C-alpha cells in the first residue's frame, strides 16, 4: 500500500552533510479515515529529523500526506507507515515523527515513532 505512495516523495541534496542540524516540519492539516467508523480523523504531524545526504522536498511531502485523506487506517498504522516511507526515501540519520490526533469521543491520541540509523 505505502510502497506506491513513496513515489510521491521527492528529495534534494543536503548542502551541509557534515553537520548535524535538525529540520522541523509541522503539518497541521493531516486527515485520514477511521477504519471502524468511517469518520474523518484530523491530526497534526511533526517531523524532527537530522538529514544525511538528502532532505525532503516540502511540496512532495504535502502531496504524499494528502494521499492518506480517504485511507481507512488506524492512528498507529498511519504514523508508522509514514515514518517507514520517510526513512526509505530520505534515509535520515535520525527522525522522530509525532502525530497528534484531534479528540474524538472525548479521547485524543498522540503517537510518537522514532528511527535512528545504526552506526
Catalytic residue IDs:
34, 41
- Would you put residue 7 in left (φ > 0), alpha (ψ -120 to 50) or beta? alpha
Query: Do 45 and 101 form a contact (C-beta atoms < 8 A)?
Result: no
For residue 95, the tally of other CB atoms under 10 A from its CB is 23
Amino acid at each position: 500500500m505505502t510502497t506506491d505512495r513513496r513515489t510521491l516523495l521527492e528529495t534534494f541534496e543536503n548542502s551541509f552533510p557534515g553537520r548535524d542540524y535538525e529540520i522541523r516540519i509541522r503539518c497541521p492539516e493531516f486527515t485520514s479515515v477511521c477504519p471502524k467508523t468511517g469518520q474523518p480523523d484530523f491530526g497534526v504531524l511533526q517531523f524532527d529529523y537530522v538529514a544525511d545526504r538528502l532532505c525532503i522536498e516540502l511540496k512532495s511531502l504535502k502531496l504524499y500526506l494528502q494521499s492518506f485523506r480517504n485511507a481507512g487506517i488506524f492512528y498507529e498504522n498511519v504514523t508508522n507507515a509514514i515514518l517507514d516511507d520517510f526513512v526509505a526515501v530520505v534515509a535520515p540519520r535520525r527522525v522522530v515523527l509525532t502525530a497528534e490526533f484531534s479528540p474524538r469521543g472525548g479521547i485524543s491520541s498522540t503517537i510518537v515513532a522514532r528511527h535512528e540509523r545504526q552506526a
